[in-house]
Structure 1
Amino acid sequence: MGNNIFITATGTDIGKTFVTGLIVKKLRDAGYNAGYYKAALSGAEVTENALIPGDAYYVNKIANINETMDNLVSYVYKEAVSPHLASQIEGNPVEMNKVIEDFNNSLSKYDYLTMEGSGGIVCPIRYDDKKIMLEDIVKELGLSTLIIADSGLGTINHVVLTVEYLKNRNISIKGIILNRYSEGNILHEDNKKMIEAITEISVIALVKENDEELNIDINKLLEIYE
């Protein structure tokens, strides 16, 4: 099935896209043929000529992938709401077959494919006559996950709940990355320690504000894709 990983988060505005960009950039800078894919994106920027999928556009630029937006995202919605609601408003519901096809097309082009989720793991992608939750896509594609979380107050609860949700659905977790981390911050340091103690899952990287590189050994990063 190739080397791939699914990036999820403990909620919205955690910095999932920022960290995803650093991950793909790290791989590409090290000489690996690494790509990016996202099934559904809502809250796209409206221009005169098109909708600009901000998450995909950012990763494409920061990691220097040089792909067209059509190859990076299957469904792009203008409304800044959950994909299931955006698709109802705009009349363009997500079809699982298209997601599978587009994912496999991306996988055929790259040795390491990073798929970014929408919001947190409990995200309805379609909810009408058909029901597709984000976890359904993860399972259908046979992906393991990497969890992005904030370093600040409340993150222990958010991470543990996300981990337990994934475990209860038999979805593999390869690691956790803490974003907006400050060295010497006693709360951030204790959050890392407690998250690892309670979940028994490693925090594989710590990302500071405005980091331009992911501080992780490249071989350790490659391991999460296996």
Structure 2
Amino acid sequence: MSRALFVTATGTDAGKTYVTALIVKRLREAGINAGYYKAALSGAEERGGSLVPGDADFVARASGMTETPESLVSYVYKNPLSPHLAAQIEGNPPELDAIKRDFARALKKYDYLCVEGCGGIVCPIRWDERKIMLEDIIKACGLSVIIVSPSGLGSINSAVLTVEHARAAGIEVRGIIMNGYDETQLMHRDNKYMIEALTGVQVAACVKRGDTELDIPVEELCGLFKEAGKIDA
């Protein structure tokens, strides 16, 4: 059975796409059939009259995937806004059934599937007569999460709040990856210690600025993924 992992973050610009690319790249270079999926993406770049989902494009290129970026994302919006607001402006609001269908299709294609979220864990995906939050997608697809956190000032608060929100929603947190980490900085080392102490969640890896490889044994990285459970009907 395929295994999957949802990559969320403590907030926008925490480096979620960058870290996701490193995860997929690490697995694929180890000979593992690993892939990528994203339910909704906003802020897409217009090229030749069509929208290109930049996050998916980056992950595909960095990890050596041959799929087109458009095939890796269910809903793509041009406006660089929360998906719910971009959909209100542009139309084509996300449908949970379509997301579950595309996720299930990706599961059949890959042995290990990285599912990237939008922004932080508290992200409205649709907000009209229907309400869809990011956590609804995580739970509907039966996923556990790994959290990408910055390493600098404020990281303790944002990481702890993200972990606590996930737990309150009944979502398992498998680990934390700290991005922009500098071992020579006392604050970064202390932030790592305090985040682990306050959450009880292990920091699975630390990513330095400019890293092109994820410094974690492949076996440990695979251990963060869980067998994909039953997708909610």
TM bucket (normalised to shorter chain) is over 0.9
The letter for the 2-side match of 1:106 is: A
Q: Provide the C-alpha distance between the structure 2 equivalents of 1:105 and 1:37, rounded to a whole number of angstroms.
A: 10
The letter for the 1-side match of 2:51 is: L
What is the aligned partner in structure 2 of residue 99 from structure 1? 99
> Which moved further from structure 2: 48-57 or 172-181?
48-57
Q: Provide the C-alpha distance between the structure 1 equivalents of 2:4 and 2:108, rounded to a whole number of angstroms.
A: 11
The answer to whether the 8 A contact 1:37-1:116 is kept is yes
What is the aligned partner in structure 2 of residue 190 from structure 1? 190
What is the aligned partner in structure 1 of residue 47 from structure 2? 47
Gaps of 5+ in 1: none
Q: Provide the C-alpha distance between the structure 1 equivalents of 2:38 and 2:139, rounded to a whole number of angstroms.
A: 15
What SS is found at the alignment partner of 1:43? coil
The answer to whether the 8 A contact 2:10-2:148 is kept is yes
> For each residue in 1:108-146, what CA deviation from the matched residue of structure 2 results, as whole angstroms up to 9, or x when unmatched?
000000000000000000000000000000000000000
What is the aligned partner in structure 1 of residue 230 from structure 2? none
What is the aligned partner in structure 2 of residue 86 from structure 1? 86
Matches within 5 A, 1:147-226: 147-226=147-226
What SS is found at the alignment partner of 1:75? strand
The answer to whether the 8 A contact 2:56-2:70 is kept is no
Q: Provide the C-alpha distance between the structure 2 equivalents of 1:181 and 1:52, rounded to a whole number of angstroms.
A: 30
What is the aligned partner in structure 2 of residue 14 from structure 1? 14
Q: Provide the C-alpha distance between the structure 2 equivalents of 1:172 and 1:71, rounded to a whole number of angstroms.
A: 28
> For each residue in 1:49-71, what CA deviation from the matched residue of structure 2 results, as whole angstroms up to 9, or x when unmatched?
31111100000000011112232
Aligned-pair CA distance for 1:3: 0.2
Residues paired across the two proteins, number: 226
Aligned-pair CA distance for 1:46: 1.3
Q: Provide the C-alpha distance between the structure 2 equivalents of 1:70 and 1:55, rounded to a whole number of angstroms.
A: 10
What SS is found at the alignment partner of 1:204? strand
Q: Provide the C-alpha distance between the structure 1 equivalents of 2:216 and 2:224, rounded to a whole number of angstroms.
A: 12
Aligned-pair CA distance for 1:14: 0.7
The answer to whether the 8 A contact 1:175-1:204 is kept is yes
Q: Provide the C-alpha distance between the structure 1 equivalents of 2:213 and 2:115, rounded to a whole number of angstroms.
A: 19
Gaps of 5+ in 2: 227-233
What SS is found at the alignment partner of 2:57? helix
Report percent identity of matched pairs: 57
Q: Provide the C-alpha distance between the structure 2 equivalents of 1:188 and 1:23, rounded to a whole number of angstroms.
A: 22
The letter for the 1-side match of 2:92 is: N
